[in-house]
Amino acid sequence: LMETFLAAKEQIFITGAVLDEELTARVLERRHVILPSIRERVASQLAIVREWIEPNATFEWVAPQAGAVCFLRVRTDIDIDRFYRVLFEEHGTYVGGGHWFDQDRRFFRLGFAWPTPEELARGLRALDEAAAAASRPTRSLLSR
């Protein structure tokens, strides 16, 4: 039910309201004052994600060139439904599943600019822990 509500919210708020557009116009009028700190935060948060993913054997990505979201892919053999369930139920971490974007469920969207650096680090650890909990045991040739 929560996933359905979040997916609906995603679709409902895909376009900006008139008030949002007015506020955006006012921010852009003062962009030389406002945007540098936002860009700095996004770059700092992206660096946290980059540092986490570069040595990561479970997830991969094409690093974003702009924006505050990225699209990751699980590259190991895990129970993907269990991964999403553990991620949300045990860690309180939510990502946009690939099925929202007509992609395989092994893909997901990760927003990285909104949380604090500490929250982002916790969320990235949660991804690792949920993937470990959803790992499929490897079969040995001797066990057949």
Strand order through the sheet with 69-74: 59-61, 69-74, 107-111, 96-97
pLDDT band at 127 (very low <50, low <70, confident <90, very high): very high
| The pairing of beta strand 69-74 with beta strand 59-61 | antiparallel
pLDDT in tens, 95-119: 998 988 899 999 999 999 988 999 9
Report H helices in the chain. Answer: 2-12, 18-29, 31-53, 80-89, 117-133
Q: Report the chain's mean pLDDT, rounded to a whole number.
A: 89
Read off the pTM: 0.78
The amino acid at 61: W
**φ/ψ (deg, to 5) at 42:** -60, -45
Average pLDDT estimate for 64-84: 94
